Homo-oligomer: A and B are copies of this chain.
Amino acid sequence: MNYTISEENYIKAIFRLQRAGKTVSTNALALELETKPASITDMLKKLKAKKLVLYSPYQGCRLSSEGSKLALSIVRRHRLWEYFLAEKLQFKWDEVHEVAEELEHVSSKQLIERLDAFLGFPRFDPHGDPIPDSTGKITMPELVKLITLRPCERARVSGLTDQSADMLKLLKQRKINIGTIVTINKKFEFDQSLEIEIPESIPFIISEQTAQNILVQYEPES
């Protein structure tokens, strides 16, 4: 139930390197963790014994489902602390990572849940990376609908669900293109319409239907 700092760092590194079910090589891990391949092999045996990774000699490794759960919870802690440091302690976005690397290993479950609440359940860290919720769910930022954003959040337009001519005409008139940075000013709960702002224009309103169709990627402050 409780893991060492070293174990947590290995799990995090595997999580970072593991893309689309592919296996992670010993050498890649050694590089990532700035350690020697022999040390990786040693640790992989321990992590396998603890059922955190799937591993057979010479075949590389990947996280088990239990390992993935752990990885998400470490990422959650890391990003919540980064948010805290930037938002409450006035750290710059490039100063938060190092300190969060230490804070993330403080394991009290209660601490993290209360910190999350204190911060207002933020969904993105200062680098724009999504923060997993307490169940480990993570909103992948590539495919978020504009409608899901909240006031003050900024995002980059990166796709459309419905690409009909009418839709494109509307967006052209509003000067919204792929790559346009959009800031949410207000959200009107009555009809879910949004007041938004784009560079070099005055704020304007878009309907719920429009906001449902625009796919964006969250964009950090500066």
The residues of A with any CB-CB pair to B shorter than 8 Å are 85, 88-91, 95, 98-99, 102-103, 106-108, 110-111, 114-115, 118
Would you call B89 and A114 a contact (CB within 8 A)? yes
Known contacts A102-B106, A102-B107: does B88 contact A118 (CB below 8 Å)? yes
Would you call B114 and A90 a contact (CB within 8 A)? yes
A118 to B106, CA, bound (A): 21
A98 to B111, CA, bound (A): 11
Q: Which residues of B contact A115 (CB under 8 A)?
A: 89
A91 to B106, CA, bound (A): 16
Q: Which residues of B contact A106 (CB under 8 A)?
A: 99, 102-103, 106
A126 to B90, CA, bound (A): 25
Would you call B85 and A99 a contact (CB within 8 A)? no
Q: Which residues of B contact A89 (CB under 8 A)?
A: 111, 114-115, 118
A107 to B115, CA, bound (A): 20
By secondary structure, the A interface counts as helix
- In addition to A85-B111, A99-B108, A103-B106, 15 A-B residue pairs with Cβ atoms within 8 Å of each other are A88-B118, A89-B111, A89-B114, A89-B118, A90-B114, A91-B110, A91-B114, A95-B110, A99-B106, A99-B110, A102-B106, A102-B107, A102-B108, A103-B103, A106-B106
A178 to B64, CA, bound (A): 63
Would you call A99 and B118 a contact (CB within 8 A)? no
A171 to B156, CA, bound (A): 68
Smallest distance from the beta carbon of A2 to chain B beta carbons, Å?
11
A-B contact pairs, 14 of them (CB 8 A): A85-B111, A88-B118, A89-B111, A90-B114, A91-B110, A91-B114, A95-B110, A98-B108, A99-B106, A99-B110, A99-B111, A102-B106, A103-B103, A106-B106
Q: Which residues of B contact A88 (CB under 8 A)?
A: 118
Residue of B nearest to A115 (CB): B89
Residue of B nearest to A116 (CB): B89
Residue of B nearest to A113 (CB): B89
Smallest distance from the beta carbon of A173 to chain B beta carbons, Å?
45
Smallest distance from the beta carbon of A98 to chain B beta carbons, Å?
8
